[in-house]
Amino acid sequence: MIITYYDVECFKVQQGDLTLVFNPVSKQSSAKAARFGADIALVSANHPDMNGWDEVSYGGKTPFVIKGPGEYEKHGVFVQGLLSKTSYGGEEKINTVYDALIEGTHLLFLGPIDAPERITKEIYEAVDDVDILFVPVGGTGVLAAAPAYKVSLSFSPKMIIPMHYDAASLSTFLKEAGAERAEPQEKITLKKKDLEGKEGAVVVLKPTRA
């Protein structure tokens, strides 16, 4: 599995010939939209920073778009969309938390969660054995760094990948995690066995501006 971070909350996850994207940035966003082809696009909230599924229809690929709660299966990937809310962008809207199972690896993507109480009892009950957690830490319309780390630990993930950060919020998050020396990486390549024995390991991915 190869995971690449683009901007805001946009992640490309590649497993063999399959490409999945979380929260692709649209052309209407002030952030830079990425241009690559995806097989599956998961959209947490209807906001230009994360609803650009048309931007990942490229290179002969047109994504199967998931943009709300429910259970889905496509290309051998099992996705559970869990209902939450957010006030990202200034008004309350639906935020879908995604639990995706890709060849035995559980990815939990929180989307633009803006307060710990947005993660309901129903979400916790529906989620089990998180391998990789994607958590927003920026504090502007999403979780601030300190509560973001506490929320992260509540899922007992093997690996934590922060997103939606700036330099200050990332620094605070890393201090909370005791991972001040974590060096940002261009991308991460891993197999399921690489996660064995890990508990809350923090991996920082550097945004790819392409």
- At 64 the pLDDT is 97
- At 210 the pLDDT is 54
- At 59 the pLDDT is 84
pLDDT higher than 80, residue 180 = yes
Give me the domains of the chain, ranges plus CATH numbers.
2-202 (3.60.15.10)
Q: Is residue 34 a contact partner of residue 6, using CB atoms and an 8 Å limit?
A: yes
pLDDT higher than 80, residue 209 = no
Closest to 195 (Cα-Cα) out of 129, 135, 150, 149 = 129
Mean pLDDT of 33-56: 94
- At 77 the pLDDT is 97
Residue 196: what residue type? Answer: E
CB atoms within 10 A of CB 27: 10
Kindly report the three-state secondary structure assignment for every residue of the chain.
Answer: CEEEECCCCCEEEEECCEEEEECCCCCCCCCCCCCCCCCEEECCCCCCCCCCHHHHCECCECCEEECCCEEEEECCEEEEEEEEEECCCCCCEEEEEEEEEECCEEEEECCCCCCHHHCCHHHHHHCCCCCEEEEECCCCCCCCHHHHHHHHHHCCCCEEEEECCCHHHHHHHHHHHCCCCCCCECEEECCHHHHCCCCCEECCECCCCC
Closest to 182 (Cα-Cα) out of 206, 164, 199, 166 = 206
- At 76 the pLDDT is 96
pLDDT digits (tens, 9 = 90+) for 52-76: 999 999 888 999 999 999 999 999 9
- At 34 the pLDDT is 85
pLDDT digits (tens, 9 = 90+) for 82-118: 999 999 999 999 999 999 999 999 999 999 999 999 9
